[in-house]
A and B are shown apart, each in its own frame.
Chain A
Amino acid sequence: MLKLFEHNTLNVDDISAEQTAVEVRNLNLWFGNKHVLNDISMRIPKNKITALIGQSGCGKSTLISCFNRLNDLYDGCKYNGEIIIDGRNINSRKINVSRLRTNVGMVFQRPNPFPMSIYENVCYGLKLQGVKVRRHLDDAVESALKQAALWDEVKDRLFESAHVLSGGQQQRLVIARALALKPDILLLDEPTSALDPLTTLFIEELMDSLKKQCTIIIVTHNMQQASRVSDYTAFFHQGRLIEYADSDTLFTMPEKKQTEDYITGRYG
């Protein structure tokens, strides 16, 4: 009987180096004088879905933007500490940021397809890498759209503008665009907050199926969503990692008072 409740998730402290997709060591980050991330250390496991939760402004989006160095775009952003992906510290100057970003895909809150055809949207990253052979592009587009469960809906209108698609379809297109580069890690920054509940469910199912190929890190404000889809959950508050555990534990028996208050909706 107990077996039923026994999850296939490990305790976060027991994740070994081989099972780790992203290892964060003593990460501190400042925007100007504002200390946004305060001494974060965590191991995010491979081929699992890890949810980051917390109030707005607690630094969770900033944290996942560290995983593909997107914070470099903002003036006045400073950071130290290490983030290890594939055995290399990506905060090092020697890292090729473009290559890192093809390996760590990212999907944003609002669907942001480019004003081009569906096909062109999916090949954008591949073309940047210099893939020119039409057959390779065709194959990549088809498989990415299939993985994003969008192929059947758009296969007859690949060359129409991406803006004719609905919001949910656009978000899946953006996911397909990231998947076309075959990333090891997929960062989702509140991917469903602009979508209706049914479409949200659809995207959640999609995440579950994508877990086999890549590690998914999702930022969400939706407690139910975090508990539904994620294997692990980390709770942040004011730039600090308050609690990090497998989702069942975190949502049923949180250790910290702050976590409990947050997940039961007692503050914020």
Chain B
Amino acid sequence: MLSRQSFGLNAVQRQSFVISLTAFFTSLLLIALVSVLILIGMRGMAYFWPEPIYMVTGKQSDGSAFTVFANVFEDPSGGDVRLKYADSRAPYGSQKQLSEEQVESLDLIPESAEIKFQDGRRVLAIPEYIVVPSKPAQGLEKINAVMDEVALITAQIEELNTQKLAPIHEALSQFDKRGVDEEAPAREKLVASFTEYQKRVEALEATRAEYELWVSFADKSAFVIPMSDIQSVDFVSRLSTFEKWKVVFSEIGVFLSNSPKQANTSGGVFPALFGTVLMVFLMTIIVTPFGVLAAIYLSEYAPHSALTTTIRVSVSNMAGVPSIVYGVFGLGFFVYTLGGSIDELLFSDALPSPTMGSPGIFWAALTMAILTLPVVIVATEEGLRRVPEGLKTGSYALGATKFETIVRTVLPIASPGIMTGVILAIARAAGEVAPLMLVGAVKFAPALPIDGEFPYLHLDRQFMHLGVLIYDGAFHSQTDGKSASMMFAACLLLLIVVFILNILAVLLRARLRKRYITG
């Protein structure tokens, strides 16, 4: 007799045992959830936090001594120390893993600085002095002024390039296209002014190249950095907490607004963020009408037959199909078949190079729409089923046709249910990576899908996606190795994006619920 007397507990004890058991598993779940958030949050934020710079002396595993400037990370698991350092052999940073015995001394160096480059690299060194054209060497206190000067020259070069050189270049290529003679006076005049502007640009560039920052490494070796390459110089060890936060925020700004650099290990993630949001947005625009119309047919018009039931069951089952299958379908059907046919019909001039027949953001959005369609259909049907029969009959009794009843009464009341479906679809689409890699998401895209060039929204372009960026950065980049902290920052951002998209949809649903309250 196991049932009544199980574990020798009476009814009350048994009940409290069951309650504790369920509570235990709930708390396990909470712990798992919170640790994910804490890990991603801490590691993600740590990417932006300026780490103090130490001078580390020690012995390498082969016995030779070394001295480097480094950020020091203690391994939480053991006594090992991990260094991110820079010296004359590896000026742009490298990593070292040391056991505790190998480290001889650790000294905070207040005059050391972290110098970040425009291209995403960084150097840890002591800045010594600044070289400025036709003046004696300047002290470091002038560094901000000198950097502003350099930025001004860069802006002038930029302006000449875009305002003067580019239009002349454009006009010249127009001449060439029309077959204008090389010696034609108008063309010669243009060529002359082109050469002149080019000379001015070259002169400016030469001046700019004379601005230099001289730094020294821990082994006293000197290193020269052109000022124009520098993005920022932070004397990390001297910064107050407030100034450190300022650095963090400017880093976050760079992270959100710049392109990835150094094979997606540094720089920013703006194109990926933009691509993710745009893809989800396009997907929502496609999936909502499709899903809602299909659900309306299934629940309002379709006859109650075995076929309808079969369709309904299949739709629900489609939600369980592995996403990579949709990716393969998208590639095979949308990209090659559909895109290929469009190319043959509309862009036959450009063949054999494909226009729509290659992976792109539109095909990705369409694939994701197919993937999330079952979710929207099921949730919408659920919402439609909840519309009270009395309201529909009331509408019919006032002379409304079925269509009018659906548009004016059923859909507004079902709109919170539809929103639930859209929320689920957004959550799923924003986090999906595998199918996207087949139909348009790439490691690096040279251009955004939206720009100032007609037709502004380039649906055929490949795009970057946060998930793909994380995948690529976390597994394929050698330089940052174990820390890979930009990937944590990107993870944090992806979480925040999904969270914001969901919050927006939930708020919208709450509004609709309040507006179309029934009963």
Contacts and interface: CB of A to CB of B under 8 A. Distances in A.
> Do most interface residues of chain B lie in helix, strand or loop, or is the interface mixed?
helix
Interface stretch (A8-16, A30-38, A103-111, A256-264): A103-111
B397 interface: yes
Contacts of B519: 163
A129 B399 contact: yes
A65 to B, nearest CB: 9
Interface stretch (A173-181, A217-225, A231-239): A173-181
A102 B517 contact: no
Contacts of B249: none
Contacts of B515: 115
Contact of A108 (B394, B399, B409): B394
A130 B437 CA distance: 51
A183 to B, nearest CB: 10
B401 interface: yes
Interface string A111-133: 01011000000001100110000
B516 A115 contact: yes
Interface string B403-420: 010001100110000000
Interface stretch (A47-55, A67-75, A86-94): A67-75
A140 B393 CA distance: 22
Interface in B323-344: none
Contact of B401 (A98, A100, A106): A98
Given A105-B397, A115-B413, A128 B391 contact: no
A112 B396 contact: no
B311 interface: no
B398 interface: yes
Report the contact-size class of chain B (Cβ under 8 Å from the partner): 20 to 34
Contacts of A98: 399-401
B398 A115 contact: no
B394 A128 contact: no
B413 A125 contact: no
A101 B393 CA distance: 11
A68 B397 contact: yes
B399 A128 contact: yes
Contacts of B412: 115
Contact of B390 (A102, A108, A128, A163): A108
B253 interface: no
Contacts of B401: 98
B167 interface: no
Contacts of A62: none
Contacts, number: 65
B232 interface: no
A125 B398 contact: yes
B397 to A, nearest CB: 4
A266 interface: no
A73 B519 CA distance: 23
Contact count band on A: 20 to 34
Contacts of B398: 101-102, 105, 124-125, 128, 177-178, 181
Given A75-B304, A108-B390, A161-B517, A114 B409 contact: yes
Q: Which of A70, A112, A129, A161 has the most CB of B within 10 A?
A: A112
B395 interface: yes
A161 B413 CA distance: 14
B139 interface: no
A124 B408 contact: yes
Contacts of B518: 115, 163
Nearest to A104: B397
Given A75-B304, A115-B516, A161-B517, A124 B397 contact: no
Nearest to A107: B397
Interface in B203-248: none
B240 to A, nearest CB: 56
A70 B399 contact: no
B79 interface: no
B133 interface: no
B388 interface: yes
B390 A99 contact: no
Contacts of B395: 114, 124
Contacts of B409: 114
Contacts of A106: 397
B517 A178 contact: no
Given A108-B393, A108-B394, A110-B390, A115 B517 contact: yes
B393 A73 contact: yes
Given A70-B393, A102-B399, A112 B388 contact: yes
B396 A181 contact: no
B391 A112 contact: yes
A129 B398 CA distance: 10
Given A115-B518, A178-B398, A181-B399, A128 B393 contact: no
A101 B401 CA distance: 10
A124 B399 CA distance: 10
B399 A99 contact: yes
Contacts of A102: 398-399
Contacts of A161: 517
Contacts of A70: 393, 396-397
Nearest to A99: B399
Interface in A40-88: 68, 70, 73, 75
A112 B393 contact: yes
A125 to B, nearest CB: 4
Interface in B2-60: none
Contacts of B390: 108, 110, 112
Contact of B391 (A68, A114, A129): A114
A114 B400 CA distance: 13
B396 A101 contact: yes
A177 to B, nearest CB: 7
Interface string B477-519: 0000000000000000000000000000000000000011111
A114 B401 CA distance: 16
A235 B426 CA distance: 59
Among A106, A115, A161, residue most surrounded by chain B Cβ atoms (within 10 Å): A115
A66 B396 CA distance: 13
A112 B396 CA distance: 12
Interface string B354-390: 0000000000000000000000000000000000101
Nearest to B303: A75
B434 to A, nearest CB: 42
Contacts of B388: 112
7 contacts: A99-B399, A112-B388, A112-B394, A125-B399, A174-B394, A181-B398, A181-B399
Given A98-B399, A98-B400, A181-B398, 18 more contacts: A68-B397, A73-B393, A75-B304, A101-B398, A102-B398, A105-B397, A105-B398, A108-B394, A108-B397, A112-B390, A114-B394, A115-B516, A124-B400, A125-B398, A128-B404, A163-B517, A163-B519, A181-B399
Closest 9 CB pairs of A and B: A102-B399, A125-B398, A112-B390, A106-B397, A101-B399, A112-B394, A98-B399, A115-B516, A115-B518
